[in-house]
Amino acid sequence: MEEQYPKQALDKFRQWHFWWLVVFSVLLIVTFVYYLPARFLNQLSVNHHMMEDMHDEEIDEHADEHMDEFSEEEMMKDNHGDSENHGEYVYHEEGDVKNGPVVNLKAYPEPFNTSEMLWLDFAVNTKPESTPVSYQDLQITSEKLMHVIGVRSDMNEFFHVHPRINGDVFTIGTQLKKPGRYKIWSEIKKDDVIHVFGHPQINITGSGATEEKEVSFGRNVILGPYQISLDHNEPIAVGENELFFSIKTLTGGGVELGSYLGEPMHLTIIKDDLKNLIHTHPSSHEADHSFYLINQAKAHGEIEDGHEVPQEVLEFTVNFPEPGLYKAFAQFLPAEFENEDGEPEPFLAEFWLEVKGGEEAAVTKTQDPWWALLVVSVVLIVILGLIVKKYITVK
Amino acid sequence: MTNKYFIILGLAILIIIGGAIYRKYILPESSLPVQTGKTINVAVVAERDEWRFTPEEIIAERGDKIIMKVVNEDDYDHGIAIDAFGVSQRMPANSTITLEFVVTQEGEFPYYCSVPCGEGEVDGAKRTHFDMIGKIKVKPAL
């Protein structure tokens, strides 16, 4: 070669060749070391930063009138917290409590049926003497002193309401429009501990089916103009698990979430034997501000101009106490409904979850450890690189 | 030269074996492809100047193959996209297209017009491109 071309030209060529290799290497490094892994992690929704000062919103104007008696500081303390700051969480069945705080439920008028209003009185007291507990001794969680959650035995009917203070008790009237057996729970916070009390089941009579249980493990549901998807590691095992919810428009666009009871989403998870309830809020909340090398061309023919609402991903850390079937009820309020007159009704997305026990989960989990996939990928990339290098080497 | 063909062959075998191992041992059960062997033939019509897909709901079981004949009755283009199943196709004016896909996941998934197609008044109510949305409801395979 040096005989055909002058040395100067060859030097120039080598210089160009060198810089070409540098640029090409940089491109490969950016693509394979940064861009593709970043996109991959983003799609898996596992790389969320912790939420920072998410909830600066004011207390809802429809909050219980007695809320005025609580200091603003206390309200803000609750509203600024993530799930870890909501306090210790203890589950009880009403009849099992022999000591400490308990909530007793009285439902009336009997017999209960679908055509009449069902009134529920919740009396907070301390066992064993049944000493009444004043509402002033309770703390606010998610803007309310008491949350009441109920489901029908087939988990098809769900309600989440907030009784008002009525003398010594908390009272609410509700009309259950479908017959069947209903389980009701109340949740209060006292001395920085969140207590959830399961109350005896109530049988509501009326026309129509009392049980229509249908289990489906769909991970995408449509509610009006929104689609809600749930993502989680497989399998869900007893213990701590992360659940990721994302809310999009039907054409895949982002949805700005408003505040529903001080949180972007309330998640209630109930075991199908009605013996356990978990009520939690996002541990992290992040908009998908992915780094895109090119503009995103959307299937509906539009190109993102940078002004669209980013997709929100809400992360929950949930501790499942035992294996079995659970149903998750996710309540949220898009920002466009936040300022509606009256108390806006939240959207409710429902998902069935199967939680596997220790050994069963461990066997399945060993099939999909992320680090194993990473190691295998790196080894395969190195082998492929060596083979390609050998293939293109000029002898 | 022969050596290079061996290398390519070796790579191909490696990729195939890797894919088989991934599918057999790594892919979660819920993501494994299911085929019921059942085919659902459905006709979806973009009705003339209505900015509406008819029907607006299709019900299938996980693993069903859907053969969707989509009719565009309008004198302008529409499109149809089903993100969950990787479908996105343009429908020229006054045309019929046929889509085939297997519904591999349970849940509810939207199908929508993927080509901006304007707006108009239908029975006194305003309808637009964004109203051209339907839903595929995929139930568990029996």
The tens digit of pLDDT for each residue in A1-16 reads: 556 778 888 888 888 8
A66 lies in some domain: no
A308 shares contact with chain B (CB less than 8 Å): no
Instruction: Give the Cα separation of A284 and A240 in Å (integer).
Output: 15
Residues B26 and B47 in one domain: no
What contacts A251, CB < 8 A, 6 or more positions away?
A298, A299, A300, B81, B110, B112, B130, B133
A244 lies in some domain: yes
In this predicted structure, the answer to whether residue A385 has a pLDDT above a threshold of 90 is no
Dihedral sign from CA coordinates of A124, A173, A197, A284: negative
Task: State whether B4 and A216 contact (CB < 8 Å).
Answer: no
Residue A184 belongs to domain with CATH number? 2.60.40.10
Instruction: Give the Cα separation of A375 and A155 in Å (integer).
Output: 42
B105 shares contact with chain A (CB less than 8 Å): yes
Please give, rounded to a whole number of angstroms, the shortest distance from the CA of B41 to a CA of chain A.
23
A103 lies in some domain: yes
Task: State whether B108 and A367 contact (CB < 8 Å).
Answer: no
Query: Is residue A14 packed enough to be buried (19+ CB in 10 Å), middle (13-18) or exposed (0-12)?
Result: exposed
Residues A254 and A162 in one domain: no
The tens digit of pLDDT for each residue in A141-161 reads: 888 899 999 999 999 999 999
The single-letter code of the amino acid at A350 is: E
A256 lies in some domain: yes
In this predicted structure, the answer to whether residue B24 has a pLDDT above a threshold of 80 is no
Residues A160 and A193 in one domain: yes
Residues A231 and A343 in one domain: yes
Per 3-state DSSP, what percentage of chain A is helix, strand, and coil (rounded to 5)?
25, 35, 40
Best mutation target among B8, B17, B103, B133 (most A Cβ atoms within 10 Å) is: B133
DSSP string, A146-168: EEEEEEETTS--EEEE-PEEETT
Domain enclosing residue B118, as ranges? 39-139
Residues in chain B: 142
- From residue B96, alpha-carbon distances to A178, A320, B87, B91, B131 in Å are 45, 50, 15, 7, 20
Q: What is the pTM of this model?
A: 0.73
Give me the residues paired with residue B44 across strands: B70
Residues B73 and B130 in one domain: yes
Residues A375 and A316 in one domain: no
A210 lies in some domain: no
| Strand A118-127, strand A100-108: pairing | antiparallel
Residues B64 and B125 in one domain: yes
Instruction: Give the Cα separation of B117 and B49 in Å (integer).
Output: 10
In this predicted structure, the answer to whether residue A135 has a pLDDT above a threshold of 60 is yes
Residues B19 and B89 in one domain: no
In this predicted structure, the answer to whether residue A296 has a pLDDT above a threshold of 50 is no
Residue B112 belongs to domain with CATH number? 2.60.40.420
A214 lies in some domain: no
Residues A90 and A121 in one domain: yes
Number of domains in chain A: 3
In this predicted structure, the answer to whether residue A230 has a pLDDT above a threshold of 80 is yes
| Strand A146-152, strand A180-190: pairing | antiparallel
Domain enclosing residue A316, as ranges? 220-356
Please give the mean pLDDT across all residues of chain B.
89
Query: Tokens 């969320």 sit at which residue?
Result: A48
Please give, rounded to a whole number of angstroms, the shortest distance from the CA of A184 to a CA of chain B.
28
Number of domains in chain B: 2
- Nearest C-alpha in B relative to A392: B4
Residue A281 exposure: Cα atoms within 13 Å on the Cβ side: 23
* Segment A232-260 mean pLDDT: 89
Instruction: Give the Cα separation of B142 and B129 in Å (integer).
Output: 36
Q: Provide the pLDDT for residue A340.
A: 66
Residues B43 and B25 in one domain: no
Residues B22 and B77 in one domain: no
Cβ–Cβ < 8 Å for A257, A332:
yes
Tokens of B105: 């996941």
A343 shares contact with chain B (CB less than 8 Å): no
Residues A388 and A344 in one domain: no
Nearest beta carbon to residue A251 from set B11, B84, B112: B112
DSSP B30: G
Residues B85 and B24 in one domain: no
Instruction: Give the Cα separation of A173 and A162 in Å (integer).
Output: 10
Residues B12 and B67 in one domain: no
Residues A112 and A130 in one domain: yes
Size of interface A-B (CB pairs under 8 A): 81
- From residue A371, alpha-carbon distances to A35, A44, A219 in Å are 19, 14, 25
Instruction: Give the Cα separation of B88 and B114 in Å (integer).
Output: 7
Give me the residues paired with residue A351 across strands: A328
Of A54-58, A80-84, A346-350, give the range with the top mean pLDDT. A346-350
Residues A302 and A225 in one domain: yes
Cβ–Cβ < 8 Å for A158, A330:
no
Which of A25-29, A165-169, A174-178, A385-389 comes out lowest in average pLDDT? A385-389
Residues B13 and B67 in one domain: no
Tokens of A344: 């806006």
Residues B62 and B107 in one domain: yes
Residues B18 and B49 in one domain: no
Residues A230 and A348 in one domain: yes
Task: State whether A234 and B106 contact (CB < 8 Å).
Answer: no
Helix boundaries (H) for A80-238: none
Residue where a domain terminates, one of A144, A176, A204: A204
Residues B24 and B56 in one domain: no
